[in-house]
Structure 1
Amino acid sequence: MRKLDGKIALITGGSEGIGFATAQQFVIEGAYVFITGRRQELLDAAVKQIDDKHVTGIQADSAKLDDIDNVIKIIKEKKGKLDILFVNAATGTLESIESITEESFDRQFNLNVKSVLFTVQKALPIFVDGGSIILNGSNWSIKGIGGASIYNATKAAIRSFARCWSVDLKERKIRVNTLSPGATKTPMLRRIGPTPEASETIINSIIAGSIMGRIGHPSEIGKAAVFLASDDSSYVTGIELFVDGGLAQI
């Protein structure tokens, strides 16, 4: 028996990075996976690369409630239920407090916070009792990082969601946990600075401060997600699991 045999999973933002790697790991462990993404071409390529017999790609902008409704409608029609939800789609921009704009604030909170709330809410009618909800956080949520006040605040909200929802959903035995990666080799990390050169400087600074002297690989986050999605974590709810090489703990 594989760890996720017979399970139906949804991963938002699954066409690249951590979402893509997690979809790969879920399929390896026997799940059927729905992934969402905004760019159809990238989504199609991801489905083909992972396994088009066990993955369905749905074009959607997670910040748009109508798109979330459509995703849940397709899953209900095709599979009738959800066992696992990994709310992964997110964005982040480094900006000093003097340069933050209303547009930047809204963009980050709409995708990183608002969409998380309504994705979970809209999935609940087809979510099985005893299922697993995983929210993608960040180890930056507990750190003071210059220029990251908006992004870090959105991820602190995610941690609060997991605490509260694990209580709200306890009667249905639905476990809710936060998975908080550190710096991970993803396209989003490469866009962390205003220019490629600035991004490289930031990444090198993170590596220099890391206990392990490196950034993470998306598959390492995906394997941790398998743990939280499976019965291996049957006595785990409401936690924040840091997968960051120890950076947030030391």
Structure 2
Amino acid sequence: MKRKEYEAALEPLTLELVSMARWAKATGARIVVVFEGRDTAGKGGAITAVRDKLNPRQCRTVALSKPTEAESTQWYFQRYVPHLPSAGEIVLFDRSWYNRAGVERVMGYASAGEVDAFLAAAPMFEKLLVDDGILLFKYWLTTDQEQQEARLRERLDDPLKRWKLSPIDLAAREKYGAYTKAREAMIKATHTSHAPWTLVDFNDQRRGRLTLVSDLLCRIPDTHKAPDAIAFPELGKAPARETYKVLKPIADFPLD
């Protein structure tokens, strides 16, 4: 999809997202959106499409690093709980508690017993969230191996994206099948009526973003909330002009 076509299609969805955020603030709704998928699937771009025009004080992204030594001894879900939304907030998880069923399982960071315990506990944990009134949405962004390889190569060749290429990403190239097997087991165990998974094709990332945002908006209750009227009276006199100095470049500025 061409950029101009994508931006034109995204604009009305963005307006709906802004209205949804007003609705959440007015009603005290708590919204959690989980973004999962393979490395390079497009989670960052999808999250940006959702939050770009929203108030960052209301809509925040949670992307946790690996657990600390202390966190590794806690109840597994414990470090995610403090990041759950308060009334009127929207939280976007760039990866989530499902790390245990994906990366940790495939890369051997969690034992088979720990993975089995997680798969049994996750539906119960999510039931507690939903029963308490949290609106929970779980998205898995799908990509073919050919697309993943092309995007990893792009990260390698682009100095502005090189930071995204981690040793785990490189190891994942050889474990495409293992990740597929882990994903299927995860979905089978955690696709529930109270917290279902939605798989979105992200081989074309722009189309994938539009599909995801449209689906999210359709699944949230009626969110139309007109902006509050703001009184903006004319000033009784001409606005004051601020005086300031213009900084000029210094000739022959020493670089050493």
Shared fold by TM > 0.5?
Answer: no
TM-score bracket, normalised by the shorter chain, equals 0.3 to 0.5
> Which has the larger strand fraction?
1
TM-score by length of 1: 0.42
TM-score by length of 2: 0.41
Higher normalized contact order (CA 8 Å, seq sep 6+, divided by chain length): 2
